[in-house]
Structures are given as C-alpha cells and as structure tokens.
Amino acid sequence: MARPEVIVESAKGEITLLLAKWKDGDPSAFEDLMPLVYPHLRHVAAAYIRRERNPDVLQATALVHELYLRLLNQKKAAWGDRRHFYTFAAKVMRMILIDHARESQAQMRGGGRERVPLSDDLLWVNIDSPEMLDLNQALDELGTLDAYKVQLVELRYFLGCTAEETASLMQVSKATVDRDLKFTKSWLFRRLHPGVVEDAA
C-alpha cells in the first residue's frame, strides 16, 4: 500500500478553513479536520510498529489515538494554517515518543532488546533508550537558539514528513531543508556524542 502523503486539500484551503473555524470555537471543525490528517498520522505510527520486535510495546492505533486526544485538548489553539497544525502535530508526536521512551526505561527488564532507530537518518538514536531522552533535551536546548531547525527535525523525523513535504510546510526549498537538516543532525550528533567521530551522523 502506498504511503499517504502530507494531506493535499481536497478543496482549496479546506484544512486552513477548518483550522480557522476551530480557532473561532466551532467544535464540529475538529471532527471534520481529523479524518483529513488521520491516515498520515496513522501511517507514521505504523512505520514505528513495523520496526518494533515486540508490537505490543508501541501500538500504532493507540499512538495516533493519543495524538488525537492531545489535539482535542488544544481546540483553542491559535492556528491559522496547515503549517501551524502540522508543526504542532509533529511536536505532539515527539512528546508521545519521548513518553514512550521514558516508560520503556522504567519497565526495562534486563538488556538484549533490539535497537529501534528513530529514523534511517538517525540510526544512532534508539527510540527505546536513554538516547531518546538525551535527544529531547538537546532539541530543547537547540530550540532556545533556533526554533526553526527543531521544527524541521520534528516534521521530518517525528511526524514522518518527506524532505519535500517539510519544505512545502516550512515554505522553503528542499535544498534549504536538506542543508539545514544536515547541519542540525551534525549538531545533535556532536551534542549527544562528544568526542566521537561523526561517521554515523
């Protein structure tokens, strides 16, 4: 099955219109909005499941339902467009996966668990290990210096957007996204692995 792309609005401005209605307090707008974005979020979560040795650890449906509930609690968020919505959803997905990493550490029964990388581009970050917590701290630190680069990481690696989708949402070129992500991955690798040669980054 082909992977769902970041939502292409079925009618011009549909998502933006629903976000505006939601912002203005229309409760039905949220219910109309979620079916448009749910397939992509569900796909992202399922991608993590496929890489898990034990699928009971991180259920795709449960992950997206948690995201849904967290979004539901943000009905009054002042979003004006798709970029605001997706950057928020990416941040929520990041928080869900960080919570998962904390729970995994708390429930760890000895070693020997298979590594599950956050992304093929971030093979040195295992979603079930303290590395995820260190990454979260590093992203918080980077956010005080350059929030834009953190949003790139969240969209690309936590929400599962392609480089092209990330560029479209951030309204920059794909070349800019590629360049900025390369710099950011290098920064994060050095931050998490001081003194280690950067081959793995």
Q: What is the pLDDT of residues 15-57, one digit of tens each?
A: 778 877 877 778 788 888 878 777 777 777 666 666 665 555 5
Structural domain for 189, as ranges: 14-200
> At 64, is the pLDDT very low, low, confident or very high (cuts 50, 70, 90)?
confident
Q: Where are the alpha helices (DSSP H) in the chain?
A: 14-23, 27-50, 60-72, 82-106, 130-143, 147-153, 163-170, 174-192
Decide if 94 is inside a domain.
Answer: yes
Q: Is the CB of residue 136 less than 8 Å from the CB of residue 154?
A: no
Give how many domains the chain has, as a whole number.
Answer: 1
Decide if 7 is inside a domain.
Answer: no
What is the reported pLDDT for 142?
A: 95
Decide if 2 is inside a domain.
Answer: no
The pLDDT mean for the chain works out to 77
Q: Is the CB of residue 75 less than 8 Å from the CB of residue 99?
A: no
- Centre a 10 Å sphere on the Cβ of residue 113 and count the other Cβ atoms it contains: 15
Decide if 181 is inside a domain.
Answer: yes
Decide if 5 is inside a domain.
Answer: no
Where is pLDDT greater, at 66 or 165?
165
Give the angle subtended at the CA of 80 by the CAs of 77 and 83, to the nearest 5°.
95
Decide if 92 is inside a domain.
Answer: yes
Decide if 191 is inside a domain.
Answer: yes
Under DSSP, the state recorded for 78 is -
Instruction: Answer yes or no: pTM beyond 0.95.
Output: no
Decide if 95 is inside a domain.
Answer: yes
d(CA 172, CA 9): 19
Please say if the pLDDT value at position 112 is more than 60: no
* Mean pLDDT, range 145-165, rounded to an integer: 91
